Structure 1
Amino acid sequence: MKRKLAFDVAALLLALVVSGSSAHEAARPAPITIHSVSVNLPSSAATFPPGPGSDIAAKCLICHSAGMVLRQPALSQAAWKAEINKMRTVYGAPIDETEVDTLTVYMTKVNADQQSH
């Protein structure tokens, strides 16, 4: 009886080891291939006009040309604030929370000035 019990325990341990390794194998993610991508962004000679907040707006140039930002349709201050916060939270724009209000006022003014030209 002791021999049968020892055999059953050994078989159970072997089954656990085998099933554990196959479960571990199944959990391993498939290998991925990494390759380089080249992106050509449109150039723009436009610059942000001077004023309180232009230094913060310069951070937008990491992803956008000044011309692209300056050609946006007229947006309200609330809409600019929402856009700026989306860029921060969704896309990781390096704009500190303490800079949002200054940039919002700046972009609202610059945007309105561009619409009047």
Structure 2
Amino acid sequence: MKTLPIAALVLLAACHPATETPKKITLSSQTIALPAETVTLPAEILTVNCTACHSPEMILSQPKLKPEQWQAEVTKMRGAYKASIDEKDDAKIVAALLALPNQK
């Protein structure tokens, strides 16, 4: 019975690879250059209220909607997604959205 643990120990020792000195790894800092934001919104009210979650490209590529549809979207952002949009700004936001080039 004592030979089994000794045999297992010998077997494990024989299977263990020879120890190598670890290779030295040198890490260096890397930097990346991100492209500059090229799209700007024509209304500051959209920048202040919408770009926390939406890119300007996304805002500018929305389908043409009617004023009541935009109002529903603004209300949805505030209610469902907890956007910090003041209700007193709703009319200005809807007007700015309707004035976007793709809405005309």
Match of 1:114 in 2: 102
Q: 1:55 aligns with which of 38, 44, 59?
A: 44
TM alignment of 1:29-48, pairs within 5 A: 45-48=38-41
CA distance in 2, matches of 1:63, 1:44: 15
Q: Work out whether residues 78 and 84 of structure 2, in 8 Å CA contact, stay in contact via their aligned partners in 1.
A: yes
Match of 2:82 in 1: 92
Give TM-score scaled by structure 2 length: 0.59
Give TM-score scaled by structure 1 length: 0.53
- Name which one, 1 or 2, has greater alpha-carbon Rg: 2
CA distance in 2, matches of 1:115, 1:106: 10
Counterpart residue identity of residue 97, structure 1: E
Number of residue pairs aligned between Structure 1 and Structure 2: 68
Deviation per CA, 1:73-94: give whole Å up to 9, x if none. Answer: 1111111110011001111111
Q: Which has the higher helix share?
A: 1
Q: 2:64 aligns with which of 74, 81, 85?
A: 74
CA distance in 2, matches of 1:109, 1:74: 11
Q: CA RMSD, aligned part only?
A: 1.7
Gaps of 5+ in 1: 1-42
Are 2:91 and 1:101 equivalent residues in the alignment?
yes
CA distance in 2, matches of 1:105, 1:75: 12
Gaps of 5+ in 2: 1-35
